[in-house]
Amino acid sequence: DIQMTQSPSSLSASIGDRVTISCRASQTIRSHLNWYQMKPGKVPKLLIYATSTLEIGVPSRFSGSESGTDFTLTIRSLQREDLATYYCQQSYSNPPTFGGGTKVDLK
Amino acid sequence: EVQLEQSGAEVKKPGESLKISCHVSEFSFSSFWIGWVRQLPGKGLEWMDIIYPPDSDITNSPSFQGQVTISADLSNSTVYLQWNSLKTSDSAIYYCVRRRGSPRGPFDSWGLGTLVSVSS
């Protein structure tokens, strides 16, 4: 199985801060990297797929990038509604695997 | 709006059987693969299995093969996840997911999750 190592496991930031979350794949996944947002009691949400394509309706302050097997989710200016846990997931090979998650809360 | 409506929370004892469900609406049940993702208490996400309802083609994670059974009923647009003999370690939230497009597509729609608690 492809291992996805996500960091940090948690972070605290202020409203308006730039936030970056990293995800490293144990082998090539050829841009098949997706990001999800999870909030307690809410339906989980696909944010970004194929490394950098924003899902319809996702604010443009979210972006994704890659460098080899390293992937990054960036929130350009953190908003209160962005406080959540974020997961990366590779869909390149079976079984699809997730990173361990990053919980974003307020400083 | 795509809807994946999951069955309610369950409280079970070890050794009991269980079948949870995911009813699909607002999109063609015959056009997408539907699967399950597990979240253990306080832990991350694990993909379990996925099914293509028109022909019940199934792909399982090796980690879950033989532990659970996925099935689909075209007549009521519902996918199921079944255990024959629950263990306490099966206590988790189970999310129903829709996979978009190709085998490498993302999970573009999720259910709210079904909490399963197994305790003696």
Tens-binned pLDDT, residue by residue, of chain A (107 aa):
999 999 999 999 999 999 999 999 999 999 999 999 999 999 999 999 999 999 999 999 999 999 999 999 999 999 999 999 999 999 999 999 999 999 999 99
Over residues B12-24, the mean pLDDT reads 98
- What are the Cα distances from residue B32, in Å, to A71, B56, B74? 27, 11, 12
Q: Regarding predicted confidence, which is higher, B3 or B2?
A: B3
Q: How far apart are CA A82 and CA A38, in angstroms?
A: 10
B42 contacts in chain A (CB < 8 Å) = none
Residue contact B95–A92, C-beta within 8 A: no
CA distance B15 to chain A (A): 27
A50 contacts in chain B (CB < 8 Å) = 106
Q: How far apart are CA A73 and CA A23, in angstroms?
A: 8
B62 contacts in chain A (CB < 8 Å) = 1, 95
B27 at interface of A, judged by CB pairs closer than 8 A: no
Over residues B23-42, the mean pLDDT reads 92
Confidence of residue B2 (pLDDT cuts 50, 70, 90): confident
Over residues B22-40, the mean pLDDT reads 92
pLDDT in tens, B47-78: 999 999 999 999 999 999 999 999 999 999 99
- Phi, psi (degrees; rounded to nearest 5) at B76: -130, 20
Over residues B94-119, the mean pLDDT reads 96
Q: How far apart are CA B80 and CA B34, in angstroms?
A: 10
Q: What is the pLDDT of residue B101?
A: 84
Q: How far apart are CA A72 and CA A52, in angstroms?
A: 9
Q: Which of A5, A10, A28, A46 to mutate to test the interface with B (most CBs of B within 10 A)?
A: A46
Give, in degrees to the nearest 5, the angle at Cα A100 between B90 and B12: 15
Over residues B12-34, the mean pLDDT reads 93
Q: What percent of chain B has pLDDT over 70?
A: 100
Peptide linkage before B54 cis (omega within 30 of 0): no
Residue contact A89–B61, C-beta within 8 A: no
Confidence of residue B46 (pLDDT cuts 50, 70, 90): very high
Q: What is the pLDDT of residue B27?
A: 82
Q: Which of A36, A53, A71 to mutate to test the interface with B (most CBs of B within 10 A)?
A: A36
B57 at interface of A, judged by CB pairs closer than 8 A: no
CB-side neighbour CA atoms (13 Å) of B96? 28
Q: What is the pLDDT of residue B26?
A: 78
Over residues B85-103, the mean pLDDT reads 95
